[in-house]
Amino acid sequence: MSPAFRLMGIVNVTPDSFSDGGHFLQAEAAIAHGLKLIDEGAQLVDVGGESTRPGAEPVSADEELRRILPVIEGITAEVTDRSVTATITPDNDNATTRVQISIDTSKASVARAALDAGAVLVNDVTALRGDPQMASVVAESGAECCLMHMLGEPRTMQQEPRYEDVVDDVKAFLLARLEYAVGEGIAEDRVLLDPGIGFGKTVAHNLELLRRLGELVELGRPVVIGTSRKSFLGHLAGAAESSQRLAGTLATNVLALERGASVFRVHDVAPAREALTVAAATLGERWTASSQATTRTT
Catalytic residues, by residue number, are 230, 265
The greatest distance separating any two alpha carbons of the chain, rounded to the nearest whole angstrom, comes to 55
Q: By CB neighbour count within 10 A (0-12 exposed, 13-18 middle, 19+ buried), where does 60 fall?
A: exposed
Name the nearest CA neighbour of 127 among 144, 102, 150, 104. Answer: 150
Cα 239 to Cα 250: distance, rounded to the nearest angstrom: 14
Cα 287 to Cα 72: distance, rounded to the nearest angstrom: 34
Q: By CB neighbour count within 10 A (0-12 exposed, 13-18 middle, 19+ buried), where does 134 fall?
A: buried
Residue type, 80: T
Strands 44-48 and 100-104: parallel
Handedness of CA 276, 274, 143, 72 (dihedral sign): positive
Name the nearest CA neighbour of 193 among 164, 163, 162, 215. Answer: 215
- 3-state secondary structure (DSSP) of residue 86: strand
Q: Checking phi first, is residue 142 left (phi over 0); if not, alpha (psi -120 to 50) or beta? A: left
Cα 29 to Cα 35: distance, rounded to the nearest angstrom: 10
